[in-house]
């Protein structure tokens, strides 16, 4: 068989299974069989890279990072909707439609998915461009990130010559909960809702990051088709589904009052849907009637969005428990009588910290009002004091860690209470899981359950013990085996060469995440040089302030930290930096640019200064290190001269940056 035909046939087979899984919810092969098809395609494309096309399913893994998002002017504006908040307002909309369209009309009702609106462009069936809504007229080109969305078809059969579809990129509730669980393990702030998580993921400059977030898309409008043969919105939705798009579920009704049935059903069942939704959309079905009514400056006249109020319910506080996070922070949680809220059963709600408990005046036994923050995280809004039982006492956070009994201290810079023991069991599990996570040492196969088994078996007490594990002992653990153990030992061995930036991130030093770890690794050649650095040397580095420098110095001065480092050293873990050495010649310096520059634009000169670790300011002060003066420099030059600040011209600046 011709290799190109074989690759094309394999791509179409994979696309068929994508459609069956994501659109029709009726897969006919296992995940393993699907993965094997993908592996076969990747291998064939690796042997014949000249045959790789943009619509190949392999392109959903993400390409090289982008420098920025280019602006895209929408061929058809992506309009917003007018919101209504009551049935009276909805019926008033219906009356306007009756008055404008006495010949009769029908409606389509759809869920209003809470995600990120996108325009998707296809030419001859091939996905060529995708853009965010932006201001409705101009959006951002996020094509490469959209290619990573597995439910988005990159190639469609029997397509018109040109097609533009509007859809909503979203993060499913299951993926969102998994992402938040990982963030909690790493001691990072939890994301408030799936919508923000999806928007942040789609605006990542590195498509591989977007690919890792497991985003989905659902389509709800045909913006344009060169094959103009449809008379109703329902027809376009059915046609889009036939083409292979995941399409929003809809119902048709012949009058506005009948729409209430579907609106209420969606409101009552939204908790069972895989995506977050904050309302129902009611649209005219006829495309010609839509065209006749047109739009206002902001929204179409032929549609409205019925917005559901946030659901709130009362429940009784049975207890308050305290959880200990990876960084040792104690977080109180109210255990409440189970109550159905926004589609799920809630039995616990966050209380944040002691300050919030005091603000609420909460006591065990109180009846409280609950709401899901961002429709996801349950929280206590208020206390119904009229239902307070006799003898209820104010709740106080413990003075010792509930996991290990060590003293707790309050952060100087906030309301958080923190366990003081690095040997705390709660921190141990989360620290080791964080050490192995993708952002840190990236040890594949070492998830939270395996970490827990290793700790419970006594084989691992801190992260360094991972490098002394033996395959037979690991294979004896529950749900492991010879092959899994061998793979894990191999992954641990490979992580030894991860480099300084990943190692620093893995240590879990406060305020030293991925970004700060890379900055440090770009300024220090290895771990020993970094450990010898003092506060002045650390704070001279851009993005490393005094508080972060203090956390770094304190962490390295801890005896347990030094024990960990020495065990890692003996195990052969690399302490060397893989980051390109950063030229910080302007570190600690502040520049002011004034006058007309002929060899650079101000933005270009400012970018150069910042690339060398310096900062730019719009005003001259005693803290200004240098003023770069062009022609017709005015009051800033005069002030610099009066303060005795160094003044340079463009030629001198060029000498400084050679």
pLDDT range class, residue 346, cuts 50, 70, 90: confident
Q: Are 503 and 573 in contact, with CB atoms under 8 Å apart?
A: yes
The pLDDT value recorded for residue 142 is 92
Instruction: For residues 226 and 274, give the distance between their C-alpha atoms in angstroms, rounded to a whole number.
Output: 33
Domains 425-497 and 500-571 share a fold: yes
Distance CA 642, CA 645 (A): 8
Where b means 16+ CB within 10 Å and e means fewer, 322-359 reads: bebbbbbbbbbbbbbeebebbbeebeebbbbbbeebee
- H helix or E strand, kind and range, residue 417: strand 417-419
The pLDDT value recorded for residue 247 is 95
DSSP state of 641: H
Predicted confidence (pLDDT) at residue 25 exceeds the cutoff of 60:
no
Please compute, for residue 623, the number of CA atoms within 13 A of its CA located in the half-sphere on the CB side. 8
pLDDT on residue 17: 80
pLDDT digits (tens, 9 = 90+) for 2-13: 888 888 888 888
**CATH superfamily, domain at 500-571:** 5' to 3' exonuclease, C-terminal subdomain (1.10.150.20)
Mapping DSSP onto H, E and C, the string for 272-316 reads HCCCCEEEEEEEECEHHHHHHHCECCCCECCEEEEECCCCEEEEE
Using pLDDT thresholds of 50, 70 and 90, give the confidence band for residue 67.
low
**How far is residue 161's CA from residue 272's CA, in Å, rounded to a whole number?**
38
Q: Quick one: which of 220, 33, 54, 24 has its CA closest to 123? A: 54
Q: Which fold has domain 73-307?
A: D-amino Acid Aminotransferase; Chain A, domain 1 (3.30.470)
Active site residue 112: yes
Amino acid 262: pLDDT: 95
638 vs 44: CA distance, rounded Å? 68
pLDDT at 350: 86
Of residues 468 and 174, which shows the higher confidence score?
468
- DSSP state string for 18-37: HHHHHTSS---S-HHHHHHH
Which whole number is the average pLDDT over 496-505?
93
Pairing of the two strands 107-113 and 251-253: antiparallel
Contact 378, 346 (CB under 8 A): yes
Partners of 305 in beta bridges: 83, 281
Distances (CA, A) of 472 to 476, 477, 484: 6, 9, 11
Return the percentage of the chain with pLDDT > 70, whole number. 93
The CATH superfamily of 3-52 is Helix hairpin bin (1.10.287.610)
Q: How far is CA 320 from CA 188, 363, 379, 398, 411, in A?
A: 23, 9, 13, 11, 21
pLDDT at 620 over 90: no
pLDDT at 595 over 70: yes
The architecture (CATH level 2) of 312-410 comes to Beta Barrel (2.40)
> What pLDDT score was predicted for residue 428?
84
Sign of the CA dihedral running 631, 634, 638, 643: negative
Rg over CA atoms, the chain: 29
Is 203 in a helix, a strand, or coil?
Answer: coil
* Residue predicted with more confidence, 505 or 182: 505
Judged against a pLDDT cut of 70, whether residue 66 lies above it is answered with: no
What CATH number was assigned to the domain covering residues 590-656? 3.40.50.10190
The DSSP H or E segment spanning 332 is: strand 329-341
Residue 202 has a pLDDT of 84
Higher pLDDT among residues 339 and 610, named by residue: 339
Cα 428–chain centre separation: 26
Residue 23 pLDDT greater than 70, yes or no:
no
Q: What is the pLDDT of residues 87-139, one digit of tens each?
A: 999 999 999 999 999 999 999 999 999 888 999 999 999 999 999 988 888 88
Catalytic residue from among 60, 112, 173, 518: 112
Closest among 326, 574, 579, 327 to 467, alpha carbons compared: 574
> Reduced to 3 states, what is the DSSP secondary structure of residue 384?
strand
pLDDT 10s digits, 199-231? 888 878 777 777 878 899 999 999 999 988 899
Mean pLDDT rounded to a whole number for the chain: 86
Q: What is the pLDDT of residues 543-587, one digit of tens each?
A: 788 888 988 998 898 888 899 999 999 999 999 998 766 667 787
Higher per-residue confidence, 604 vs 168: 168
Which CATH architecture best describes the domain 425-497? Orthogonal Bundle (1.10)
Closest CA to 453 of 438, 472, 475, 468: 475
What confidence score (pLDDT) does residue 85 get? 87
pLDDT at 361 over 80: yes
- Domains of the chain, by residue range, sit at 3-52, 73-307, 312-410, 425-497, 500-571, 590-656
More confident residue, 585 or 284: 284
Residue 65: pLDDT above 60? no
Can you tell me the mean pLDDT for 623-636?
86
The β-bridge partners of 409 are 418
Q: Would you give the end-to-end CA distance of the chain in angstroms?
A: 58
Place of tokens 């119904």: 384
């Amino acid at each position: 068989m011709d290799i190109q035909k074989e690759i094309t046939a394999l791509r179409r087979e994979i696309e068929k299974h994508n459609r069956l899984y994501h659109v029709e919810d009726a897969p006919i092969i296992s995940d393993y069989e699907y993965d094997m098809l993908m592996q076969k395609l990747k291998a064939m494309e690796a042997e014949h890279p000249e045959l790789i096309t943009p619509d190949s399913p392999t392109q959903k893994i993400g390409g090289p990072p982008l420098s920025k998002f280019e602006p895209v002017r929408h061929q058809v504006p992506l309009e917003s909707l007018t919101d209504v908040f009551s049935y009276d307002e909805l019926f008033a909309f219906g009356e306007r439609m009756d008055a404008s369209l006495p010949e009769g009309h029908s409606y389509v009702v759809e869920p209003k998915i809470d995600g990120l609106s996108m325009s998707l462009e296809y030419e001859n069936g091939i996905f060529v461009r995708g853009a965010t809504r932006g201001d409705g007229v101009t959006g951002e080109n996020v094509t490469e990130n959209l290619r990573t969305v597995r439910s988005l078809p990159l190639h469609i059969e029997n397509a018109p010559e040109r097609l533009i579809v509007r859809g909503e990129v979203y993060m499913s509730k299951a993926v969102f909960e998994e992402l938040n669980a990982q963030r909690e393990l790493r001691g990072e702030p939890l994301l408030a809702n799936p919508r923000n998580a999806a928007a942040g993921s789609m605006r990542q400059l590195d498509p591989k990051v977007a690919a890792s977030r497991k985003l989905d898309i659902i389509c709800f409008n045909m913006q344009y088709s060169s094959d103009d043969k449809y008379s109703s919105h329902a027809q376009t939705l059915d046609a889009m589904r036939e083409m292979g798009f995941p399409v929003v579920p809809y119902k048709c009704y012949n009058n506005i009052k009948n729409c209430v049935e579907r609106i209420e059903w969606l409101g009552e069942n939204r908790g069972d849907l895989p995506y977050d939704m904050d309302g129902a959309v009611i649209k005219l079905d006829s495309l010609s009637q839509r065209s006749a009514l047109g739009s206002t400056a902001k929204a179409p006249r032929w549609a409205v969005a019925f917005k559901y109020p946030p659901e709130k319910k009362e429940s009784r506080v049975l207890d308050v428990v305290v959880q200990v996070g990876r960084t040792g922070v104690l977080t109180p949680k109210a255990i409440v009588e189970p109550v159905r809220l926004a589609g799920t059963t809630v039995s616990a709600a966050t209380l944040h910290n002691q300050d919030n408990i005091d603000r609420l005046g909460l006591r065990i036994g109180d009846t409280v009002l609950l709401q899901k923050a961002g429709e996801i995280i349950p929280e206590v809004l208020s206390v119904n004091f009229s239902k307070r039982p006799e003898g209820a006492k104010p709740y106080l956070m413990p003075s010792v860690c509930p996991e290990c009994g060590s003293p707790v201290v309050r952060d100087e810079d906030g309301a958080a209470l923190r366990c003081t023991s690095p040997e705390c069991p709660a921190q141990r599990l989360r620290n080791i899981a964080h050490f192995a996570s993708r952002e840190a040492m990236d040890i594949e196969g070492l998830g939270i359950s395996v970490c827990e088994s290793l700790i419970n078996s006594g084989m691992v007490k801190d992260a360094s013990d991972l490098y002394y594990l033996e395959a037979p002992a690991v294979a004896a653990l529950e749900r492991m085996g010879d092959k899994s153990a061998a793979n894990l030992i191999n992954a641990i061995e490979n992580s030894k060469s991860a480099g300084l930036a990943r190692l620093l991130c893995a240590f879990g030093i406060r305020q030293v995440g991925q970004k700060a770890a890379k900055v440090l690794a770009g300024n220090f050649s290895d771990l020993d040089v970094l450990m010898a650095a003092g506060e002045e040397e650390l704070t001279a580095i851009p993005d490393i302030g005094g508080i972060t420098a203090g956390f770094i110095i304190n962490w390295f001065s801890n005896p347990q930290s030094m024990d960990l480092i020495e065990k890692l050293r003996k195990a052969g873990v690399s302490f060397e930096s893989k980051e390109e050495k950063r030229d910080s010649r302007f570190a600690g310096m502040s520049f002011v640019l004034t006058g007309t520059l002929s060899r650079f634009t101000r933005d270009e000169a400012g970018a150069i200064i910042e690339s060398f670790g310096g900062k730019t300011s719009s005003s001259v002060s005693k803290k200004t290190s240098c003023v770069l003066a062009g022609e017709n420099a005015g009051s800033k030059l005069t002030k610099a001269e009066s303060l005795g600040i160094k003044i340079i011209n463009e030629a001198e600046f060029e000498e400084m940056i050679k």
